[in-house]
Amino acid sequence: TWTPANIADALIDAVADQIGDGRAICGLSGGVDSAVAAALVQRAIGDRLTCVFVDHGLLRAGEREQVQHDFVGSTGAKLVTVDAAGTFLEELSGVSDPETKRKIIGREFIRSFEGAVSDLAGESADGESIDFLVQGTLYPDVVESGGGSGTANIKSHHNVGGLPEDLEFSLVEPLRLLFKDEVRAVGRELGLPEEIVGRQPFPGPGLAIRIVGEVTADRLALLRKADLIAREELTAAGLDNQIWQCPVVLLADVRSVGVQGDGRTYGHPIVLRPVSSEDAMTADWTRVPYETLEIISTRITNEVPDVNRVVLDVTSKPPGTIEWE
Ligand code: XMP
């Protein structure tokens, strides 16, 4: 019978066969798939795997630490972090269009990743090259990119960390035959912490596509605070199982009048977008209890400067998409 333990063993053996005594590299996004793929490969080839984490500055609170401490602590994997937040911000400056943001982020991601790869190749004392690139491709991704679905491309989407074109690697895709729930089970089997294994989907372009308007350091800081409050309270209310994901969106170009303390405010709205879904293709807005919404709204307006209004998105998909951009 197939248990997470023997699936993991079989995948580790297959990776060991594929890579032999070669070296591999894996980009970590902070998400489940790349973490589980990397953990499997680490078990198979140990320190001949190097993980690369590009911190683009668009992550949520605590996510960098999760990769650097929790992932490394539970796997022992070798990790290189690239601090690219400044570059990403500069490149995004003045840009409001969602698809342009995605293109810039995709391009800069590949640039940072390539930079890390050539640094590593230069450092390798024995002159051994890195021949393998690990990717956390799942079965549904394989099916989707087979082009069979016939659905229109609504957003340029997916995997910011696409394969750098001019790097010659053999692909290692240990999760190719698995569905998401199986990936989580294997991750738990490998001892990855629940915060990583149970993480809800989060888009590669990160908070950049949750700021409607230009991305700036101040806006990112503000959104990060609001997002953390929403996550904390939804978790505390025991709603994580019901919610597929809950984008928290800053309407940076909108201001509305409010009153707080003894003064008039003129601040931004934060949108809560909790959705329930099976596969993100369709979604319904989650009926979060009023009490929880109240706590989130009070905390965000009290604790996040320049935000004076919290609104709830009650649109299903279709016609809305899950993300606002
Ligand atoms: P939409 O907004 O199209 O989102 O209903 C469907 C799912 O895809 C995620 N998403 C992305 N993921 N890069 C990603 O890696 C992207 O550019 C991107 N845009 C949307 C979204 O979070 C949801 O899970």
pLDDT confidence band for 166 (50 / 70 / 90): low
> Which segment of 131-145, 173-187, 255-269 scores lowest on mean pLDDT?
131-145
pLDDT higher than 50, residue 70: yes
- Confirm whether residue 30 is marked as ligand binding: yes
Distance 203 CA to ligand 1 centre (A): 5
- Confirm whether residue 261 is marked as ligand binding: no
Distance 57 CA to ligand 1 centre (A): 18
Pocket probe for ligand 1: among 155, 271, 286, the residue whose CB has the most ligand atoms within 8 Å is 155
pLDDT higher than 60, residue 74: yes
Contact 222, 252 (CB under 8 A): no
Distance 204 CA to ligand 1 centre (A): 8
Average pLDDT (240-256) is: 97
Distance 319 CA to ligand 1 centre (A): 15
Q: What is the pLDDT of residue 244?
A: 97
pLDDT confidence band for 170 (50 / 70 / 90): very high
pLDDT higher than 80, residue 157: no
Q: Give pTM, 2 decimals.
A: 0.91
CA distance 75 to 54: 19
- Confirm whether residue 32 is marked as ligand binding: yes
Pocket probe for ligand 1: among 135, 323, 324, 325, the residue whose CB has the most ligand atoms within 8 Å is 323
CA distance 116 to 81: 9
CA angle 252, 258, 259 (to 5 degrees): 140
pLDDT higher than 90, residue 145: no
Domains and CATH numbers, the chain: 4-197 (3.40.50.620), 216-312 (3.30.300.10)
Q: What is the pLDDT of residue 151?
A: 39
Secondary element (H or E) of residue 212 = strand 211-212
**3-class state of residue 92 by DSSP:** helix
Nearest to 196 by CA among 37, 16, 2, 8: 37
CB-defined site of ligand 1, < 6 Å: 102, 154-155, 157-159, 201, 203-205, 245, 280, 317, 321-323
- Confirm whether residue 121 is marked as ligand binding: no
Query: Which atom of ligand 1 is closest in space to residue 247's alpha carbon?
Result: 22
- Confirm whether residue 31 is marked as ligand binding: yes
Does the CA dihedral 104-157-59-260 come out positive or negative?
positive
pLDDT tens per residue across span 258-300: 999 889 999 999 999 999 999 899 999 999 999 999 999 999 9
Distance 8 CA to ligand 1 centre (A): 28
